Amino acid sequence: MGGRAYVLGKVFQAFLTLVLILIFNFFLFRIIPADPVKLLVRSSGHNMTEAQQDRLRHDLGLDLPVFPGQFIAYLKDTSRLNLGQSLFVSPGESVSSVFFRNLWPTLLLVGTSTIASTALGIWMGIYGGWRRGGFGDVSFMGSSLVLYAIPEFVLGILFLLLFGTALGWFPTGGFQSATGDYTGLAHVTDVLNHMFLPWLTLTLAYVGEFYLIMRSSLLDVLGEDYITLARAKGLREKVVLNKHAVRNALLPTVTLIALSFAFVLGGAITVETVFSYPGVGYLELEAIRSKDFPLLEGLFLFFAAAVIVANLVADLLYGYLDPRVRTA
């Protein structure tokens, strides 16, 4: 198979998966036995007559049969990126607008912490794999296994209690201070201060994952014949490591990195909740709690699309990094 066919094949696969998810997403939310209108009436406290409820049902398109009426409307709206309106979390606001409002804080927090834990984890993995059994390797291995094993929300609560409540070094939660019209640098500082503890939690919690993968993959590569050959050629150890070993050992890590970035979009549900950080993970929890179906449906679609795209990127990168994949 040539390179072009490989790319087209992968793109087609991704597209097909997306379509299947789209269909699944629709029916998933239709089999949940709850009448959104009834829920809306009781929680909003409106004294609605049956006729008014019917009108609302009509406005929401719930008077059509599930199939094909509602399904066709759903496909039409989704293709126009119209995902409907939130019912409870932010009543009346469009799902996309709610999502994008919460996306920015998440990108800032989870995005930068993923970059940091990736960079740190890979560096530690290379160092540990190269000096296997050394002091650095043993201490990295010990600490990253512990951090990886502690659930991230437990780590978050520990940091919150220690640095937030007991020592008072950092704010205990939220995205920014409630008062003070901070502008310019003061605002940046305020946001960074609020972000620091959740950021530290996420970075430390995920370093271990990258460290372990990178280390074991490097160890595999170091046993290969071409490494022995490189050494036999008289190349310096550093050159052997950087040019011959690390390059090849990075391959499995690429998939992990791509998928990690896909999950950035999904936010970090537990850590965002512990720190009341208004990101996508927090939004997800709120939507589930309040049974905000249109919002949940939209969120699921965004996440699924993100994972599919990231997978596609990983596949394509693989093909680029390792020619064997393309021709296999």
Partner 1 sequence: MVKGDSGMRKRTLVRAGVAAVTIAAVVILASPNGAFGQSSSTASTSPAHKVDFVEGTTADIKYTNPFTAISSSEYEILELNYDLLLQFGQKDLSASPGLAEMPTQSADGLTWTFKMRPGATWQDGQPVTSKDVLWTYRFVLQNDIGTLTSYFPFTTPDSFSAPDDQTFVWKTSKPTSAPLYPAWVYILPEHIWSKLSVKKASTDNSPVFPLVGSGAFQMDQWNKTAHTWSLSANKNYWGGAPQIDNYVIKKYDNVEAMVNALKTGDIDYASGISPDLFNSLKGVDGITTNAGVPSGFANLIFNTRGDYPAPDSSANPIGTGNPALLDPRVRTAIAMAIDKQDLVDRVLRGFGQPGTSIVPPRSAFWHWQPTPDETIPFDIAGANKILDDAGYVDTNGDGVREMPGGGKPLDFRLDIESEDSSRVRAARYIAGYLKQIGIQVTTQADSYQKTLAFWTANDFDMYMWGWGPDPDPSFILSVFTTDQCEIWSDACWSNKKYDQLYEEQKSATDLDARQKIVFQMQQLLYKENPEIVTYYDDTLEAYRSDRWTGFRLSPDPNGYLLNQYTTYSAITMHPVAAGQANAGSGGISTGVWGAVLLGIAAIIVIVVLVRRRKPDEERA
Residues near partner 1, by CB under 8 A:
33-35, 38-39, 42-47, 49-50, 53, 88, 90-93, 101-102, 104-105, 107-108, 112, 115, 160, 164-165, 168-194, 196, 235-236, 238-239, 243, 273, 276, 278, 282, 289-291
Closer Cβ to partner 1, 76 or 243, answer by number: 243
Nearest distance, CB of residue 96 and partner 1, angstroms: 14
Q: Which amino acid is at 145?
A: L
How large is the greatest C-alpha to C-alpha distance in the chain, in angstroms? Answer: 87
Closer Cβ to partner 1, 56 or 219, answer by number: 56
Burial class (CB in 10 A: 0-12, 13-18, 19+), 200: middle
Hunting for tokens 């449906």 — which residue is that?
A: 297
Nearest distance, CB of residue 328 and partner 1, angstroms: 26
Mark 139-155 as b/e (b = at least 16 C-beta within 10 Å). Answer: ebbeebeebbebebbeb
Q: Compute the half-sphere exposure of residue 184: CA atoms within 13 Å on the CB side of its CA.
A: 1
Nearest distance, CB of residue 164 and partner 1, angstroms: 7
Tokens standing for residue 108: 């800032």
Q: Which amino acid is at 214?
A: M
How far, in Å, CA of 269 to CA of 276, rounded?
Answer: 10
Hunting for tokens 């599930």 — which residue is that?
A: 66
How far, in Å, CA of 253 to CA of 292, rounded?
Answer: 37
Closer Cβ to partner 1, 58 or 236, answer by number: 236
Nearest distance, CB of residue 12 and partner 1, angstroms: 32
Closer Cβ to partner 1, 141 or 240, answer by number: 240
In sequence order, the β-bridge partners of residue 85 are: 94
Closest CA to 245 of 260, 253, 328: 253
Closest CA to 80 of 95, 92, 65: 95
Tokens standing for residue 77: 């709206």
Nearest distance, CB of residue 221 and partner 1, angstroms: 18
Nearest distance, CB of residue 178 and partner 1, angstroms: 4
Closer Cβ to partner 1, 8 or 32, answer by number: 32
How far, in Å, CA of 178 to CA of 187, rounded?
Answer: 12
How far, in Å, CA of 313 to CA of 29, rounded?
Answer: 29
Nearest distance, CB of residue 35 and partner 1, angstroms: 7
Nearest distance, CB of residue 187 and partner 1, angstroms: 5
Closer Cβ to partner 1, 81 or 186, answer by number: 186
Tokens standing for residue 292: 């905000």
Closer Cβ to partner 1, 78 or 176, answer by number: 176
SS3 of residue 303 by DSSP: helix
